[in-house]
Amino acid sequence: MIELNDYQSIILGAGPAGCFTALKLSEKGIKTALIEEHSEIGSPVHCGECLSEFAVKNLKIELPEKVISKNVKGIKVIFPNGKEFFTHENGYVLEKDLFEKWIAEKAEKKGTEIFLNTRVNGIEKKEKGIELKTNKHSYTADFLIDGSGVSQVSSRLLGLNKPSETVIGMQYLMEEIPNEGWLEFYLWPDLAPEGYLWIIPKKDGKANVGLTTTNKNQAKKLLDKFIEEKKLGNKIVKSFGGLIPHSGPLEKTFDERILLIGDAAGFTSPMFEGGSQLAMKSAEFASVIGFEAVHNNNYSKEFFSAYQRMWKKEFPPYEKLLKAKKEFYSLSSNELNKFSEDLPYNLSSLTKKEKAIYGLKLALKHPHLMPKIKMYDSFKYSLSKFYGW
């Protein structure tokens, strides 16, 4: 008698990556289970909730009104001296919990079986499948997609990869915050060492006010100081956040019978740490390879290596990006202000000529900063077309 696994695919973690993979695989007729440790999909939110219009088109999704909190015009970047620069790119601030629930419901309608309150605590490869052990039952499948976010469960349990380096992201949902429809990103290293601060507008005058920094112990203190300096008041509805991988993709994003997606694979945009578009695009790629694996009855490491080639071809050049970020983080407030002196205001469409003139001016005025000019790649790769948000 042939022993069948419970499912063809099993997905660990119901974040945007896991839910989107479940939808894509179920649409293709693959028998899929989605396992989530929390009692509700999408909660607690650990995200600034921004998603660009480019991402929505790139992922071919049509957002229902109920998941959109606010339409935004793009990103306003504010240097320590208060100078403002813009990337004009339309996008959304979501109700992220509703967004994730919406995808999960669509997946369920297509056949995904969802198991909540179910925490994976063991993974075992079998001769003809893979077994997930949880606080409730064990589940077997032909292959596993790990979308467990920054917990990076399969890397940890199977020793596949060293864990990502992380920054902390912490924010308050606040009321009565004025805004003009921009995502405001503050490059203020004194208050956000190796990170930045943000005011992300939501509907009804609410906003996510937060920061990322490597200074994990001081994050709350620094954020409170920012709120005081910006005179944002004290109408805090709730605080939330989490850790974000920021050292680029893990070395192995596939193994025999396993694919890693989203934060579980280290796919965040290194500069401003946006991860949802990357999470969902990697989900799409994993569903393509997963479907082909079922079709060919081949779950070997070699077969699954196609996934890594696929994302490498599409995702931004991480090596360049990480170098740019390192340069960026090494700058003091004073140096950042010097960089801002002759910078054109519209960062999203700098022409070659504008860049050359800017470089020349910087070389003449502040020659010692020229070796750090690579830091501008940080801005370039924060655009939505490079999966920035």
Q: Is 74 or 275 the residue whose CB approaches ligand FAD more closely?
A: 275
Residue 105 burial (CB count, 10 A): 15
Q: What residues does 173 pair with on adjacent strands?
A: 208, 238
User: Are 299 and 291 in contact, with CB atoms under 8 Å apart?
Assistant: no
- State the number of binding residues for ligand FAD (CB under 6 A): 41
User: Are 168 and 212 in contact, with CB atoms under 8 Å apart?
Assistant: yes
Question: Per rule CB under 6 A, is residue 35 in the interface with ligand FAD?
Answer: yes
Question: Per rule CB under 6 A, is residue 268 in the interface with ligand FAD?
Answer: yes
For residue 188, CA distances in Å to 93, 121, 171, 212, 322 come to 23, 40, 16, 11, 19
Which of 16, 129, 249, 316 is the binder for ligand FAD (CB under 6 A)? 16
**In the complex, minimum distance from the CB of residue 387 to ligand FAD, in angstroms, rounded to a whole number:** 9
Binding piece for ligand FAD, criterion CB under 6 A, among 60-68, 240-248, 293-301, 325-333: 240-248
User: Are 181 and 92 in contact, with CB atoms under 8 Å apart?
Assistant: no
Question: Per rule CB under 6 A, is residue 148 in the interface with ligand FAD?
Answer: yes
Q: Identify residues 162-221 at the interface with ligand FAD (CB under 6 A).
A: 169, 171, 210
345: three-class secondary structure by DSSP: coil
Residue 380 falls in which region: left (phi positive, over 0), alpha (psi -120 to 50) or beta: alpha
Which of 7, 8, 9, 14 is the binder for ligand FAD (CB under 6 A)? 14
Look at residues 261, 257, 233, 240 and name the one whose alpha carbon lies nearest to residue 249.
261
Binding piece for ligand FAD, criterion CB under 6 A, among 22-30, 63-71, 267-275, 309-317: 267-275
Which of 114, 209, 232, 279 is the binder for ligand FAD (CB under 6 A)? 279
For residue 53, CA distances in Å to 56, 71, 125, 319, 389 come to 5, 9, 40, 26, 9
Q: Is 376 or 389 the residue whose CB approaches ligand FAD more closely?
A: 389
Instruction: Give the residues lining the site for ligand FAD (CB under 6 A).
Output: 12-18, 35-38, 46-50, 119-120, 147-151, 153, 169, 171, 210, 241-242, 244, 262-264, 268, 273-277, 279, 389
